[in-house]
A and B are shown apart, each in its own frame.
Chain A
Amino acid sequence: MCAGLAVNWRDIPDHLIEEFSLQNRVVSRNENEKEIRFLFRDPVAQLPVWVDDRLTIVEWGNRGNKESRLPKTGWCRNESLEAGKWNWLKPQPVIIPACYGLEKGVWFQIKEGMSGILVKDEKNIDHVYMLTTAASHYYEVMTRHGRMPVLLGEVI
């Protein structure tokens, strides 16, 4: 799967950093570059999402809200989406930008980003689920996980 991702700090507009208090998510691997990390295990699980040509920050799936009818996960299997199991939520395809992905402690390069779906909860609040597919042999060996995100513009 993909339990987290990082976006280049320069790719997130200042107003979003301010509006969503993303300062706490800023991390530097070295002196040159800063990145903003979004992990599913964060106190508030969120992801950056391109919705209608606009970049915004959205809650990542449904991690702990037992009251909500939304699936209690952060990921959506591509197969179940294609089988129509998510149709009742009227999912909207979205792009999740990322420069690095994280799974089981392994950070890997991402060219453009990955696919996701946007759904609304009972209070009309947006939630994003990361789309996953069966992992390629490469991905499975690299991360020791049998599922991988649906990456945009690349096959790894």
Chain B
Amino acid sequence: MDKLIGHLDADCFYVSAERVRYRNLIGQAVGVLGNQGACVIAKSYELKALGIKTGQPIWEVVPACPEAIFIKRDFRWYEVLSRKMLEIVKRVSPEVEYYSIDEFFFDASHLVQTFEVDLPSSIIALQNCILAETGLPVSIGVSWSRTLAKLMSDANKPFGTMLLLDADEIKDFLKSQPVSEISGIGRRSAMKLAEIGIENCFDFTQANRQRIQRLLTVKGEALWYELNGEAVVPIQTQKAQNKRVSRGGSMGESTNDPVRLNAWLARNTERLVEALEQRRLVCERLVLCLEYKTGGGYLRSVKLPFATSGFSTIFSAAQMLLQSYRESNLVCGMHIEAELLSNRRQRQLSLFENETANRIKIDLNEKMGRFALRSGATLHLPEMYADVSHSYDICDVNGKTCF
């Protein structure tokens, strides 16, 4: 028998994670807010039922639901529960992909053996096991490919399961699913498909494969195989090496103050250097991206003098990239990207880099806590460091394969 692939997805994960520790939130309309306090980054089903969408600002949500309760996100806690879920899935499957903080793909072929019941019951047993051990409700789909499994778990939320192996049953299910529900088919791709009469997932499976490839590249072709029940995208148990590593994000209050921009640059560089260190990588190119409040932005890149993960070299390069920014534009977001990555062991040592200072900083922060020792330039962002929730972001959850 071919391998069975499962997809497990926690239901409104951030809200469910908060409900694990704050039981009073169960059954309430809950919105998890991002660090800036402006947007709902996750919502309970009670809030969703009122038409609230992820990303909506709080000032739109409150009039629609005056009784909603808002809570600040806490990625450290969410990672604790995520790792617990991962442990449980690893107990029942030899191959597990840590796709994102709340989603896993796994080899479901061993569920029957593990739980000693039939396959549908064993899927429910896994669901109950996760609920009992972590307090988190999850939805699970099982089928012949990861795309089918994900489509099924998504269609059965919240706290549902679906197992479809029979070709006719899969066909009926695919007919009920709009093509936009496929993970990997965005709005633009869905529009392209609609133009040639492909509206639902079954239409997609019946389309000419080469035509799909021409329209949506090899990625679309892989989806075509997967929806036709042929698993062509394997379960990735190890994260593939990044092509780039990026750190940054929203800056909260927009600014064009050079001192504050330099402070943000130092903060994001420190986070980037830390991420490179964790992955044992060095980079040879640096990209700086600024987002303007009025729309548009600023993008500059520079080749570094040598492959490095050292703070001083990267920060100097980042400062140079910032020089040609025009101060008339208010900046609301900043990203620093490291590109042309290679393994640190493979690079030639540079005579120009002082590794000792970097090492001392890393070792001290490991012992004393993140950002305990940091660049003096960051002193101009006191609010960021006074608030511990700023010290840990979703991108700091390591090992996920999705980004």
Q: Chain A: residues with CB nearer than 8 A to chain B?
A: 8, 29-33, 35, 99-100, 105-109, 111, 136-142, 155-156
Q: Let me know if B296 is at the binding interface, CB within 8 A.
A: no
Q: Please, how many angstroms separate the alpha-carbon atoms of A155 and B387 in the complex?
A: 6
A29 proximity list for chain B (CB < 8 A): 28-29, 67, 69
One of B68, B252, B383, B387 near A107 (C-beta < 8 A):
B68
Question: Would B383 and A137 count as touching, CB distance under 8 A?
Answer: yes
CB B41 to nearest CB in A, in angstroms, measures: 13
Q: Let me know if B24 is at the binding interface, CB within 8 A.
A: yes
Mostly, the A contact residues are mixed
| A-B contacts besides A137-B387, A138-B72, 11 pairs, CB < 8 Å | A29-B29, A30-B27, A106-B62, A107-B68, A136-B386, A137-B252, A138-B36, A138-B389, A139-B37, A141-B58, A155-B386
Q: Let me know if B295 is at the binding interface, CB within 8 A.
A: no
B173-203 vs A, Cβ < 8 Å mask (1 yes, 0 no): 0000000000000000000000000000000
* 10 contacting pairs across A/B (C-beta < 8 A): A29-B67, A100-B69, A105-B66, A109-B18, A109-B25, A109-B69, A137-B36, A137-B37, A138-B33, A155-B387
CB A25 to nearest CB in B, in angstroms, measures: 15
Q: Please, how many angstroms separate the alpha-carbon atoms of A30 and B72 in the complex?
A: 22
Q: Let me know if B35 is at the binding interface, CB within 8 A.
A: yes
The count of chain B contact residues (Cβ–Cβ below 8 Å) is: 30
The 6 closest A-B pairs by CB, nearest first: A142-B37, A141-B37, A138-B37, A109-B71, A32-B27, A30-B27
A111 proximity list for chain B (CB < 8 A): 22
CB B207 to nearest CB in A, in angstroms, measures: 46
CB B106 to nearest CB in A, in angstroms, measures: 33
Question: Would A31 and B27 count as touching, CB distance under 8 A?
Answer: yes
Residue of A nearest to B26 (CB): A32
CB B49 to nearest CB in A, in angstroms, measures: 12
Contacts between chains A and B (CB distance < 8 A), count: 74
Given contacts A106-B58, A137-B37, A140-B37, contact A33 B387 (CB under 8 A): no
Question: Would B66 and A141 count as touching, CB distance under 8 A?
Answer: no
Q: Let me know if B372 is at the binding interface, CB within 8 A.
A: no
Question: Would A8 and B37 count as touching, CB distance under 8 A?
Answer: no
Q: Please, how many angstroms separate the alpha-carbon atoms of A30 and B49 in the complex?
A: 14
Q: Let me know if B166 is at the binding interface, CB within 8 A.
A: no
Q: Please, how many angstroms separate the alpha-carbon atoms of A35 and B67 in the complex?
A: 12
Question: Would B71 and A33 count as touching, CB distance under 8 A?
Answer: no
B25 proximity list for chain A (CB < 8 A): 109
Given contacts A136-B383, A156-B389, contact A107 B67 (CB under 8 A): yes
Mostly, the B contact residues are mixed
Q: Please, how many angstroms separate the alpha-carbon atoms of A32 and B268 in the complex?
A: 44
Given contacts A137-B252, A141-B36, A142-B37, contact A108 B70 (CB under 8 A): yes
Q: Please, how many angstroms separate the alpha-carbon atoms of A111 and B74 in the complex?
A: 13
Given contacts A33-B27, A155-B386, contact A106 B70 (CB under 8 A): yes
Q: Please, how many angstroms separate the alpha-carbon atoms of A106 and B37 in the complex?
A: 11
Q: Please, how many angstroms separate the alpha-carbon atoms of A136 and B390 in the complex?
A: 12
Q: Let me know if B118 is at the binding interface, CB within 8 A.
A: no
CB A13 to nearest CB in B, in angstroms, measures: 17
Q: Please, how many angstroms separate the alpha-carbon atoms of A10 and B370 in the complex?
A: 39
* Contacts of B251-275 to chain A: CB distance below 8 A: 252-253
Most A C-beta atoms less than 10 A away, residue of B29, B46, B253, B387: B387
* Contacts of B48-93 to chain A: CB distance below 8 A: 58, 62, 66-72
Q: Please, how many angstroms separate the alpha-carbon atoms of A100 and B69 in the complex?
A: 8
Question: Would B28 and A33 count as touching, CB distance under 8 A?
Answer: yes
Q: Please, how many angstroms separate the alpha-carbon atoms of A152 and B349 in the complex?
A: 49
One of A105, A107, A156 near B72 (C-beta < 8 A):
A156
A141 proximity list for chain B (CB < 8 A): 36-38, 58, 252
B72 proximity list for chain A (CB < 8 A): 109, 138, 156
Q: Let me know if B388 is at the binding interface, CB within 8 A.
A: yes
CB A8 to nearest CB in B, in angstroms, measures: 6
Given contacts A105-B62, A139-B37, A155-B388, contact A30 B28 (CB under 8 A): yes
B38 proximity list for chain A (CB < 8 A): 141-142
Q: Please, how many angstroms separate the alpha-carbon atoms of A147 and B339 in the complex?
A: 43
Q: Please, how many angstroms separate the alpha-carbon atoms of A142 and B70 in the complex?
A: 9
Question: Would A107 and B253 count as touching, CB distance under 8 A?
Answer: no
Question: Would A8 and B24 count as touching, CB distance under 8 A?
Answer: yes
A109 proximity list for chain B (CB < 8 A): 18, 22, 25, 69-72
